[in-house]
C-alpha cells in the first residue's frame, strides 16, 4: 500500500511526521507544486515527491487530499484514483461533491487540527457509504499516528467538529495571547509574559487530563467566593466571555456550512 498526499502543506506535513514517528517503512509520495517545499519534505521525512499524482495509483492505495477547499476542484483536474481509498482533509467539502468530482464513493472525510504536528491532535472522521470497515481501520491507523480520533455518523456533524476542534486550537491561542497581554500590561517582559501564559495553560490542560474531573468542577476548586479568581471570573461573566466563545464556535460552524454550499 502506498500513501499519496495531494498537497504538502502544514497539515500534510503534520500527518507525515506522525506516520514517520510510527514507522519508517510506509511508502509515502507527496504531490505538490512547489519544488522548494518538495525538497524540504524529502529531506525531513524521506518521502518521494512529484508535481502531480502518478497514473499508477491502484485500489490498494490511499490518497489524502490536503489542498485548500477552494483549490480542490482545480487540483483534482485529470486526477484518476483508480478505486483507491480517499481521505479528504478539506473543510466544508461534502462527500457528494467529492464523489461527483472523483467518480468514487470510497471516501472518508477527516477534520484534523494543528496539534497533530506534535502528536497531540484530534481528528473527526466521517465515512461515506462506499467506505468499508477495513477502510475505516486504515483511516483510523493513519490519523491515530498524530493524535486521537472521533467518528461521527452524520456528515453534518463535521461542521461541528470543524467549529470545536478543527478551529479550536486557534481559540486557545487567542486566550493565551490575551493572558500574555495582561501580563505585559502588569510590567512583565515579553518573554516572561509568554512563559507565564504558556505554563499556566500547559499545567491546566495536564491537570484536567490527569484528574479526569469535569472542567466546571476544576474551576470551582480554584475559585474561592470573594477571592481573586472569583473577581476575575465575575468580570469574564460580565463581559460575556463564555458566551462569546460559544457564539464564535457557532459562527465557525455556519461558515463551514456556507463553504459547503459554495463548493457544491
Determine the pLDDT at residue 263. Answer: 83
Of 98, 85, 130, 107, whose CA–CA distance to 263 is shortest? Answer: 98
Domain with CATH 1.10.3730.10 in the chain: 168-258
Q: How many residues does the chain have?
A: 264
Asked if residues 98 and 88 have their Cβ atoms less than 8 Å apart, the reply is: yes
Domain 2-154: state its class: alpha beta
Q: How far is CA 19 from the centre of its chain?
A: 15
| Per-residue pLDDT reduced to its tens digit, 165-206 | 999 999 999 999 999 999 999 999 999 999 999 999 999 999
The reply, when asked if residue 176 is annotated as ligand binding, is: no
The reply, when asked if residue 69 is annotated as ligand binding, is: yes
The reply, when asked if residue 166 is annotated as ligand binding, is: no
pTM of the model: 0.90
The reply, when asked if residue 11 is annotated as ligand binding, is: yes
Strands 107-111 and 121-127: antiparallel
- Cα distances from 141 to residues 9, 51, 97, in angstroms, run 21, 27, 25
Domain with CATH 3.40.50.720 in the chain: 2-154
Superfamily in which the 168-258 domain is placed by CATH: ProC C-terminal domain-like (1.10.3730.10)
The reply, when asked if residue 124 is annotated as ligand binding, is: no
| Per-residue pLDDT reduced to its tens digit, 217-255 | 999 999 999 999 999 999 999 999 999 999 999 999 999
The burial class, CB within 10 Å (0-12 / 13-18 / 19+), for 227 is: exposed
The reply, when asked if residue 9 is annotated as ligand binding, is: yes
Cβ of 251: how many Cβ atoms within 10 Å? 12
Query: CA 208, 213, 218: angle at the middle one, nearest 5?
Result: 70
Amino acid at each position: 500500500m502506498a500513501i499519496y498526499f495531494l498537497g504538502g502543506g502544514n497539515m500534510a506535513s503534520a500527518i507525515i511526521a506522525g506516520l514517520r514517528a510510527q514507522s519508517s517503512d510506509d511508502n509515502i509520495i507527496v504531490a505538490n507544486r512547489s519544488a522548494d517545499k518538495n525538497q524540504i519534505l524529502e529531506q525531513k521525512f524521506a518521502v518521494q515527491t512529484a508535481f502531480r499524482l502518478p497514473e499508477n495509483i491502484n485500489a490498494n492505495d490511499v490518497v489524502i487530499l490536503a489542498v485548500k477547499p477552494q483549490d480542490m476542484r482545480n487540483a483534482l483536474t485529470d486526477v484518476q484514483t483508480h478505486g483507491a481509498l480517499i481521505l479528504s482533509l478539506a473543510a466544508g467539502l461534502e462527500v457528494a461533491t467529492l464523489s461527483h468530482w472523483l467518480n468514487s464513493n470510497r471516501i472518508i472525510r477527516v477534520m484534523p487540527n494543528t496539534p497533530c504536528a506534535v502528536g497531540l491532535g484530534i481528528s473527526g472522521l466521517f465515512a461515506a457509504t462506499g467506505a468499508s470497515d477495513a477502510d475505516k481501520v486504515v483511516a483510523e491507523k493513519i490519523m491515530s499516528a498524530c493524535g486521537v480520533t472521533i467518528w461521527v455518523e452524520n456528515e453534518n456533524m463535521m461542521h461541528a467538529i470543524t467549529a470545536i476542534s478543527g478551529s479550536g486550537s486557534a481559540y486557545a491561542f487567542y486566550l493565551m495571547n490575551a493572558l500574555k497581554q495582561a501580563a505585559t500590561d502588569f510590567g512583565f517582559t515579553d518573554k516572561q509574559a509568554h512563559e507565564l501564559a504558556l505554563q499556566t495553560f500547559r499545567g491546566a490542560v495536564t491537570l484536567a487530563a490527569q484528574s479526569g474531573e469535569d472542567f466546571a468542577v476544576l474551576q470551582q476548586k480554584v475559585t474561592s467566593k470573594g477571592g481573586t479568581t472569583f473577581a476575575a471570573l465575575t468580570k469574564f461573566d460580565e463581559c460575556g466571555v463564555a458566551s462569546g466563545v460559544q457564539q464564535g464556535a457557532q459562527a465557525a460552524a455556519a461558515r463551514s456550512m456556507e463553504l459547503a454550499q459554495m463548493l457544491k
